[in-house]
Amino acid sequence: MLVAAIALRSAGSWAERGWRMLPALVLALAVAALLAGRAGPALSVPVAINAMLLATFALSLLRGEPLVERFARMRNRTLSPAQVRYCRAVTIAWCVFFVVNGAIAASLAAFAPLAWWAVFTGGISYGFVGLMFAVEYVVRALRFPASTGWLGSRIAVLRERGAARRH
């Protein structure tokens, strides 16, 4: 708890302080599980991680530049208004994802057999994260072909061929 208190009082944004506090939270849950002789507190770790990710993404929507836009500007400093709106929408989509993923993990921890929770949190949820990245990349390539490298260039070529055939 002392580490958590120091993390909260340290400098930086709320999101930065929260991320510094996450290891202390995970450690505290693990110690509580060991002391109680129960797995219950340890089962809440994926929920806590999803909550921290949700807070980070959601706070970025409220305070300045959405997180996905920050990532996009690391690659390309200049974004069009359409790309800025898209980045905001993707940040919102990640917020929804973290709510759903955390809720599933919490529900499984509370009501399902431990094996179900383990399969979801140790595998399926990571597959969902990968699926989110893949779907977002394809959507971005379709909307902004120049920003996605090889896939975007292939989409642009296919669009040009389709336009040439219609004329």
The beta strands (E) that lie in 28-151 are given as: none
Q: Return the ∠ at Cα 135 (arms to 132 and 137), rounded to 5°.
A: 105
> What integer pLDDT is reported at residue 36 of this predicted model?
58
pLDDT in tens, the chain (167 residues): 444 455 445 556 655 666 566 666 666 666 665 565 556 677 888 988 999 899 999 999 998 899 999 999 998 899 999 999 999 999 999 999 999 999 999 899 888 898 999 999 999 999 999 999 999 999 998 898 887 777 778 887 888 888 888 87
- Rounded to 10 degrees, the C-alpha dihedral 108/110/115/117 comes to 40
Provide the pLDDT for residue 1.
47
- Enter the pTM of the model: 0.75
Q: Tell me, what's the pLDDT at 3?
A: 47
From CA 8, how far away is CA 94, in angstroms rounded?
25
Res 62: pLDDT: 92
Q: How far apart are CA 61 and CA 29, in angstroms?
A: 29
